[in-house]
Amino acid sequence: MSDRIFGGFGLALAIFYIWAASIIKDSFMVDVVGPRAFPYIVGTVLGLTSLYFIIRPDEEPKWPGLRDFAEILFATAVMFLYAWSLSEIGFVIATTFATAYLTWRLGTTPLWSLVVGLLTAIGIYVVFHLILGLALAEGPLGF
Amino acid sequence: METLALLVDGFSVALSPQNLFLAVVGCFLGTLMGALPGLGPANGVAILIPIAFSLGLGPIPSLILLTSVYYGAMYGGRISSILLNIPGDEPAMMTCLDGYPMAKNGQAGEALSLGGIASFFGAFVATIGLVILAPQLVKIALLFGPAEYFVLFTVAFATLGGVSSTNQAKSAFAAALGLGIAMIGSDSQTGSQRFTFGEIHLFDGIDFLIAIVGLFALSEVLIFLEHHRGGAVGSAGATKVGRILPDFGMIKRCLPSIARGTGLGFFSGVLPGAGASLGSFLAYSLEKQSVDRDGKSFGKGDPRGVAAPEAGNNAAAGGALVPMLSLGVPGSGTTAVLLAVLLQLNITPGPLLFTKNPDVVWGLIAALFIGNIILLLMNVPLVGLFTRVLLVPTRILMPVVAMISFVGIYSITGSTFDVMLMVGFGFAGWLLRKLDVPLVPVILGILLGNQMEVNLRRAMTISDGDWLALVGSPLAIILWLIAIAGFVLPMFVGRRVKDRMDAQRHDEEASVGD
C-alpha cells in the first residue's frame, strides 16, 4: 500500500513537473531543442516509474510506530526551527538548544542534555569560528 | 615513461608540508568516521566538503584532504566490524563474518592489524592500477562527442542500481528525481528561468552540497533517532584489543587471499554499478569457495576471511576512481560525492582533466599513495586509539554530527533558507530510504543533470534536431547496449544476488552509499 501511495504522489509530481516545464518561457536565445525538451523526458520517466509502483508495489516497508514517527517529525521540526532561529538568536544559543533536544530524545537526562548542548555549541564555535575562521550565524549578541 | 614523469611531479606537489599535513588530518578523520557505525565514507566526505571550502583551501589541498578522508574511511570500516560485529560502513559488512569471531577468540588485535595490512595492499595495488588504466580510458574518452557523452551518462544511471538492485523502477525514479531537481534555476543555454516560480532563492538552482549533506548525513541522524536510543555502541569490554601485530606466519598464509581479493575488488570497482560492497562480497565468497569448500573454518574466525574482503573493498575504492577521474562518471555513492568535490572546485573530471590539469590528477594520485602509507602507519600500531571512539555514546555523537553538517552548509551559503532546504532534504531522504528508493541516483542526477542536458542539446544542435544522432555512431550504439544490459540484468539476477548477500550478513545494519 505504501508503494501505491508513493506512486500516486510520484504521478502527481510528474504531472506538475511536466506542466511546470510547459510554461517555461523562451528567452531571446534559442537552440534547436529548447529549454523544455529535457524536462519533458525527465517528467515522463518520473510518471512511468510512478505508474509501475502503483501497478506492482513492493512489500510493505517497516514503518515506525506512531510514537517513533512523531519523534522523527518533531526532530525535523526542531531542525527547521533551528535553521530559522540561527539569524534571530545567533549560533551559540540556537545550537545549544537544538543539540540539547536531540541528545535528550536519544536518551540523555534533560539536565545533562543541556550541558552537552552548551559544550557542543561552544566547542564548535571555538574550533570552527575562532580557530578555523568559518563564518557562523551572528545573533543580536554577536555570537 | 611519460606517466612516470608526471607521477614524480605529482609527488612533488603532494609532499609539500601543507599537503602532507592535510593528508595526515584527512586520514585520521577518515579512519574515525569509518570506524563509527552509521558514518560511512560518503557521509564523512559530504560533511567535510563545505567545511574544506569555507576554509579557503586551494583545489589541490582540498582534494588531498577529502580523498584522504575517503581512503581513511575505507580503512576504518573494519574496526567496528571486527570489534562489535556492526559494520562501520556497508563495504565492511563482509569483514564481520570472520572478524568478529576472531575477536571473540581473543584475536581482535591480530584481526585489526591483518585487516589493516590487507587494506593497504588492496588500496596500493588499486592505485597502481589507476595509474595504468586511467590514461588508457582517457584515450577512448577523447573519441566521445556530445551524443556519446549523453549516452555515457545514461549508462551511469542505468547501471547505478547495481546487480543487487531488486527494483529497477525505483532506481530510475530516483535518477529522474535528481535530474528534475538539477533543472531548477536558470537554463545554462538560453537563460530561461525554469521551475523557479519567481522564488529568488531558486534562481541559481539548488546547490548540490545542500542536497548531498541533507540526503546522506541528516537522513542518517533521523534513522538513528528511529532505531537507536541510548548508550555507546561499544562497551569497555568489547574493545579490548589484545596483541596488535599478527605473526608473520599468518600474514604469509593470507597473502594469496589478499592478492585474489585485491584483483576481484579492483575489477568490481572499475565496472560501473558494482562498487566496493560488491567487491568485498565477491572477494569473500570466492575465497570461501576456493580455500574452504566444506565451510569448516570460514565464519568461525578464519584470518583469510578477514584478509580477502578487506583487500577487496579497499581495492574497489581505488578502482572506482578510474571511471570517475577519466570519464567524469562515478559508479558509487562515495565517488559521486568525490565528483561533487571536483565540481565545487570548478574542475570538470573527464579526459580533458588529464590534459588540462595534469597537476591536479597526478597530485591527487600521489596523495593517494602517500595517504595509504600514512594509513598503514596509523592503523596498525595506533589502532587502539580509534577503538576508543567507539566508547563515545551515539546519543551525544549523532547530534554533534548533525550540528557540524549545519555549520558546513551555513558557512558556505550564509543563508538560512538553504539550511532549511537541507532539513527538507534530510526528511525526504529518510522517507525515500524507508520506501527502499536508493539515494545515490538522486545525488548523481543532481550532479550530472546539467551536463547531461547540455550534451544532449549540443548533440541536437550538431545534428540539427535529428534525434537519431543519439544512435549515430558505433561507439554510441555499444554504450546503449551496455546501458540496456546494465538496466535489465538486475531484473533477472538482482533478487538472487541480494538474497545471497543478505543470507551471508543476516540482518545487519548498513549505512548509505559505498
Which residues, 6 or more positions from B321, have their beta carbon under 8 angstroms from its beta carbon?
A: B130, B134, B269, B335, B338, B368
For residue B113, is pLDDT > 90?
no
Q: Inter-chain contact B193–A25, Cβ cutoff 8 Å?
A: yes
Q: What is the pLDDT of residue A76?
A: 94
Asked if B258 reaches chain A (Cβ–Cβ under 8 Å), the answer is: no
Mean pLDDT of B478-488: 88
Q: Is the dihedral of CA B301, B303, B306, B309 positive or negative?
A: negative
Asked if A77 reaches chain B (Cβ–Cβ under 8 Å), the answer is: no
Which residues, 6 or more positions from B6, have their beta carbon under 8 angstroms from its beta carbon?
A: B358, B362
Mean pLDDT of B151-173: 81
**Which DSSP letter does residue B398 get?**
H
Quick one: closest CA in A to B220, which residue? A72
In sequence order, what are the beta bridge partners of B194? B185
Shared domain check, A70 and A51: no
Quick one: closest CA in A to B225, which residue? A106
Least confident piece of the model among B43-47, B153-157, B500-504: B500-504
Residue found by looking up cell 591536479 in the block: B360
> Binning pLDDT at 50, 70 and 90, where does residue B328 land?
confident
In 3D space, the residue among B114, B120, B106, B122 whose CA is nearest the CA of residue B250 turns out to be B114
Let me know if residue B461 belongs to a domain: yes
Helix/strand/coil for B393: strand
Helix ranges, A23-65 (H): 37-55
Instruction: Compare B330 and B514 and report the one with higher pLDDT.
Output: B330
Let me know if residue A142 belongs to a domain: no
Q: Provide the chain B residues 215-234 that lie in CB contact (below 8 A) with chain A.
A: 218, 221-222, 224-226, 228-231
Let me know if residue B486 belongs to a domain: yes
- Asked whether A47 and B201 are in contact (CB, 8 A), the reply is no
> Binning pLDDT at 50, 70 and 90, where does residue A118 land?
very high
State the average pLDDT for chain B. Answer: 83
Mean pLDDT of B219-247: 65
For residue B494, is pLDDT > 80?
no
Residues B365-382 have pLDDT tens digits of 898 899 999 999 888 777
In 3D space, the residue among B393, B432, B510 whose CA is nearest the CA of residue B41 turns out to be B510
Instruction: Compare B503 and B472 and report the one with higher pLDDT.
Output: B472
Mean pLDDT of B242-263: 80
Q: Inter-chain contact A108–B224, Cβ cutoff 8 Å?
A: no
B183 closest CB neighbour out of A34, A42, A86: A42
Which residues, 6 or more positions from B183, have their beta carbon under 8 angstroms from its beta carbon?
A: A21, A38, A39, A42, B194, B195, B449, B450, B453
Report the residue of B400, B421, B448 to disrupt the A interface, i.e. the one with the largest count of A CBs within 10 Å. Answer: B400
Pull the grid cell for residue B84: 562489535
**Which DSSP letter does residue B332 get?**
S
Question: Residue B74's domain spans which residues?
Answer: 2-505
> Binning pLDDT at 50, 70 and 90, where does residue A121 land?
very high
Q: Provide the chain B residues 405-444 that lie in CB contact (below 8 A) with chain A.
A: 406-407, 410-411, 414, 416, 419-420, 422-423, 426-427, 430, 434-436
Distance (Å) of CA B398 to CA A107, B13, B165, B174, B356: 12, 36, 29, 26, 41
Task: Using the 3D structure, point to which of A18, A33, A55 is the last residue of a domain.
Answer: A55
**Which DSSP letter does residue B217 get?**
I
**Spatial separation of the C-alpha atoms in residues A109 and B417, rounded to whole Å:** 32
Quick one: closest CA in A to B51, which residue? A134
Let me know if residue A124 belongs to a domain: yes
Q: Inter-chain contact B179–A82, Cβ cutoff 8 Å?
A: no
Residue found by looking up cell 583545489 in the block: B59
Q: Inter-chain contact B396–A52, Cβ cutoff 8 Å?
A: no
Q: What is the pLDDT of residue B514?
A: 42
For residue B233, is pLDDT > 70?
no
Q: Inter-chain contact A33–B423, Cβ cutoff 8 Å?
A: no
Report the residue of A30, A45, A96 to disrupt the B interface, i.e. the one with the largest count of B CBs within 10 Å. Answer: A45
Tell me which H or E stretch contains B185. Answer: strand B185-186
Q: What is the pLDDT of residue B239?
A: 54
Asked if B170 reaches chain A (Cβ–Cβ under 8 Å), the answer is: yes
Q: What is the pLDDT of residue B510?
A: 40
**How many distinct structural domains can be found in chain B?**
1
Pull the grid cell for residue A85: 532561529
Let me know if residue B512 belongs to a domain: no
CA A101 to chain CA centroid, nearest Å: 18
- Asked whether B332 and B276 are in contact (CB, 8 A), the reply is yes
Asked if A75 reaches chain B (Cβ–Cβ under 8 Å), the answer is: yes
Is B436 exposed, middle or buried (CB count within 10 Å of its CB: 0-12, 13-18, 19+)? middle
Q: What is the pLDDT of residue B84?
A: 80
For residue B88, is pLDDT > 90?
no
Asked if B399 reaches chain A (Cβ–Cβ under 8 Å), the answer is: yes
Pull the grid cell for residue B139: 584515450
Shared domain check, A81 and A48: no
Quick one: closest CA in A to B231, which residue? A107
Let me know if residue A60 belongs to a domain: no
B416 closest CB neighbour out of A71, A86, A117: A86
Q: What residues of A are in contact with residue B395 (Cβ under 8 Å)? A: 103, 106-108
Let me know if residue B142 belongs to a domain: yes
- Mind telling me how many Å the CA of A142 is from chain B's nearest CA? 15
**Spatial separation of the C-alpha atoms in residues B328 and B167, rounded to whole Å:** 26
> Binning pLDDT at 50, 70 and 90, where does residue B332 land?
confident
Report the residue of B416, B460, B466, B499 to disrupt the A interface, i.e. the one with the largest count of A CBs within 10 Å. Answer: B416
Asked if B461 reaches chain A (Cβ–Cβ under 8 Å), the answer is: yes
**Spatial separation of the C-alpha atoms in residues B437 and A43, rounded to whole Å:** 17
Q: In this complex, how many residue pairs, one in chain A and one in chain B, have their CB atoms less than 8 Å apart?
A: 194
Number of alpha helices (DSSP H) and beta strands (DSSP E) in chain B: 22, 2
Asked if A32 reaches chain B (Cβ–Cβ under 8 Å), the answer is: yes
Angle at B419 between CA B414 and CA B425, to 5 degrees: 145
Residues B497-511 have pLDDT tens digits of 777 776 665 533 343
For residue B488, is pLDDT > 80?
yes
**Spatial separation of the C-alpha atoms in residues B141 and B292, rounded to whole Å:** 42
> Binning pLDDT at 50, 70 and 90, where does residue B456 land?
very high
Least confident piece of the model among B159-163, B345-349, B444-448: B159-163
Q: Inter-chain contact B457–A30, Cβ cutoff 8 Å?
A: no
Question: Residue A119's domain spans which residues?
Answer: 66-131
Q: What is the pLDDT of residue B511?
A: 38
Let me know if residue A140 belongs to a domain: no
- Mind telling me how many Å the CA of B193 is from chain A's nearest CA? 7
Residues A55-94 have pLDDT tens digits of 988 888 888 888 888 889 999 999 999 999 988 898 999 9
In 3D space, the residue among A137, A110, B420 whose CA is nearest the CA of residue A99 turns out to be A110
% of residues, chain B, pLDDT over 90: 16
Instruction: Compare B481 and B387 and report the one with higher pLDDT.
Output: B481
CA B79 to chain CA centroid, nearest Å: 18
Q: What is the pLDDT of residue B200?
A: 80
Mean pLDDT of A20-24: 88
Q: Inter-chain contact B183–A107, Cβ cutoff 8 Å?
A: no
Rg (CA), chain A: 23
Let me know if residue B492 belongs to a domain: yes
Residue B18 CB neighbours (<10 A): 12
- Asked whether A52 and A19 are in contact (CB, 8 A), the reply is no
- Asked whether A104 and B434 are in contact (CB, 8 A), the reply is no
> Binning pLDDT at 50, 70 and 90, where does residue B359 land?
confident
Q: What is the pLDDT of residue B244?
A: 65
Quick one: closest CA in B to A99, which residue? B399
Q: What is the pLDDT of residue B388?
A: 79
Residue found by looking up cell 587471499 in the block: B257
In 3D space, the residue among B184, B497, B431 whose CA is nearest the CA of residue A69 turns out to be B431
> Binning pLDDT at 50, 70 and 90, where does residue B513 land?
very low
Q: What is the pLDDT of residue B438?
A: 86
Q: Inter-chain contact B416–A68, Cβ cutoff 8 Å?
A: no
Asked if B395 reaches chain A (Cβ–Cβ under 8 Å), the answer is: yes
Length of chain B: 514
Let me know if residue A138 belongs to a domain: no
Instruction: Compare B249 and B321 and report the one with higher pLDDT.
Output: B321
Q: What is the pLDDT of residue B125?
A: 94
Q: Inter-chain contact B460–A31, Cβ cutoff 8 Å?
A: yes
Q: Inter-chain contact B167–A98, Cβ cutoff 8 Å?
A: no
**How many distinct structural domains can be found in chain A?**
2
- Asked whether B254 and B303 are in contact (CB, 8 A), the reply is yes
Q: Provide the chain B residues 464-493 that lie in CB contact (below 8 A) with chain A.
A: 464-465
Q: Inter-chain contact B419–A83, Cβ cutoff 8 Å?
A: yes
Helix/strand/coil for B240: coil
Helix ranges, B1-107 (H): 2-14, 17-35, 41-54, 59-84, 93-104
For residue B486, is pLDDT > 80?
yes
In 3D space, the residue among B144, B86, B114 whose CA is nearest the CA of residue B326 turns out to be B144
Residues B386-422 have pLDDT tens digits of 877 777 777 888 888 889 889 888 988 888 889 999 9
Let me know if residue B514 belongs to a domain: no
Shared domain check, A71 and A49: no
Let me know if residue B422 belongs to a domain: yes
**Spatial separation of the C-alpha atoms in residues B298 and B100, rounded to whole Å:** 12
Mean pLDDT of B145-161: 87
Let me know if residue A141 belongs to a domain: no
- Mind telling me how many Å the CA of B18 is from chain A's nearest CA? 15
State the average pLDDT for chain A. Answer: 89
Q: What's the whole-model pTM score?
A: 0.87
Shared domain check, A122 and A80: yes
Q: What is the pLDDT of residue B509?
A: 38
Instruction: Compare B68 and B237 and report the one with higher pLDDT.
Output: B68
Q: What residues of B are in contact with residue A107 (Cβ under 8 Å)? A: 229-231, 395
Distance (Å) of CA B321 to CA A58, A137, B58, B173, B348: 34, 37, 21, 26, 14
Q: Is the dihedral of CA B503, B508, B513, B514 positive or negative?
A: negative
Let me know if residue B510 belongs to a domain: no
**Which DSSP letter does residue B429 get?**
H
Least confident piece of the model among B89-103, B107-121, B236-250, B460-474: B236-250
Let me know if residue A25 belongs to a domain: yes
Q: Inter-chain contact A39–B434, Cβ cutoff 8 Å?
A: no
- Mind telling me how many Å the CA of B420 is from chain A's nearest CA? 6
